[in-house]
Amino acid sequence: MLRIEDTDSSRFVPGSEEYIIESFKWLGIKFDEGPHVGGNYGPYRQSERREIYRKYVDELLAKGLAYYAFDTPEELDAMRARLEAEKAPSLQYDSSTRLAMRNSLTMSRDEVKFRLDGGEQYVVRIKIEPNQTVVVNDLIRGEVAVNSSLLDDKVLWKSVDGLPTYHLANIVDDRKMKISHVIRGEEWLPSAPLHVLLYHYLGWEDTMPKFAHLPLLLKPDGNGKLSKRDGDRLGFPVFPLEWTDPKTLETSCGFREMGYFSEAVINILALLGWNDGTEQEIFSINELIEKFSLDRVSKHGAKFDVQKSAWFNHQYLLKSSTEMLTDLFTPFMHANAAVPIFERKTLEKIIDLVKERVNFVHEIWGQSHFFFIAPTIYDETVVKKRWTPETPDILTKFADLLEKESDFSSENLEKITTDFIKTNNYNMGQVMNCLRLCLVGAAMGPHLNDIMAIIGKNETVQRIRTAVSTI
């Protein structure tokens, strides 16, 4: 089920709902219910459920478990300033401060009615009694007991937009939609006692869902919670898809646009704070569904490892079919002005030769460009280290030999090259490194006989002769 929790109208971001749906679609996660597919428990946007919530606000008010508060922002600031000056242990709006504020606990019924009828803005706050023990049973952290005196009288409803806050809306919706487990980040653990109280206040404690508060995702160095700014600063994605903030127009990179496979992203996220108790690291979505359990989730934060994430993507790249990789690579080939001079089968062979060397599809070009475009510059480090006065004559003789060959298969080229070096008592490393420099322009690439076989006899000979005359 997908539920859009949009009750905080001040933080509404245009396009965010569509972005969320598109992100799950890319990840391959399908919903049985939601605003885009319907279902039996709609509406699925909380902003469309205000009448439902209002019923339970009125019930809490009638029971004396909530109250109207008319305090202005300035009055709330003044309260906090006063408490701070008094060195109070807390700056909260709670049982120790509410009787000094403008609310229905300190006003007559007539005054409250007058203010409501006059359209004065208000909020509804939960009324929490002090010195009560509230117990949260968490599937990851065990039993957590909290003294209610530490809790503030949180806002449940705002007249300014006629909407509830997260606290009330989610309790009501989880009940109405028959949610069995509430699984969220540990930053919500301090709010869990309030939610437990709401279940008790509404008489729903027997159907209260099970709670599990997941550990935080930490920065790569482990110091602090991971944020989008860390991704922007260090050059790795935090968002599933690229996102442009409609207000600031700042763009944050996404896993999809950075070249990650969606299956790899799911695998990466699943292992941040969880394992199945074995050494296995690569899990299909079906394996994760079968093996995942909350009792294997760690209580401690999990560092986001950029290098490990790339490794995961590499594994999924290797698992992908050559046909799919070729389809994904073709746009990068065209973007780099490479004319498609090879047949489809040859392109697939090139990808098979270099895919072990890359983590992302877009990196294939960097490992294969020399198949498509002859080098025009040559690595100076290799030239200084390997190119000797004898090299031009040796390579010219080898080019002459290749011109006479009719069998330009990889297997035959390996034999020809080896025989040429042994027959003339040349140094194997010396010749092969210089030959690679001629064909590639640098000390990189797959086996030379595979390169020569793919680019063909004429191109191979031409590259050797060009390098000999250039270097």
Q: Where are the alpha helices (DSSP H) in 118-191?
A: 166-176
For 194, residues 6+ apart whose C-beta sits below 8 A from its C-beta are: 126, 128, 151, 154, 167
Residue carrying structure tokens 């296995």: 280
Residue 214 sits at φ, ψ, to 5 deg, of -75, 150
Residue 101 sits at φ, ψ, to 5 deg, of -115, 175
CB 386 within 8 A of CB 434: yes
With 0-12 / 13-18 / 19 or more C-beta atoms within 10 angstroms meaning exposed / middle / buried, residue 148 is: middle
Please give the helix or strand (H or E) that residue 88 lies within, else none: none
Give the closest residue to 217 by CA, choosing from 125, 97, 301. Answer: 301
Helix (H, G, I), strand (E, B) or coil at 274: strand
Residue carrying structure tokens 């950029």: 306
The catalytic position among 25, 127, 158, 228 is 228
Whole-number Å distance between alpha carbons of 72 and 27: 45
Helix (H, G, I), strand (E, B) or coil at 325: helix
Whole-number Å distance between alpha carbons of 49 and 164: 10
Residue 244 sits at φ, ψ, to 5 deg, of -110, 120
Amino acid at 335: A
Q: Give the number of other Cβ atoms within 10 Å of residue 430's Cβ.
A: 17
| DSSP single-letter state for residue 225 | B
Whole-number Å distance between alpha carbons of 439 and 460: 7
Token reading at 395: 């390579």
Catalytic residue status for 158: no
Residues known to be catalytic: 228
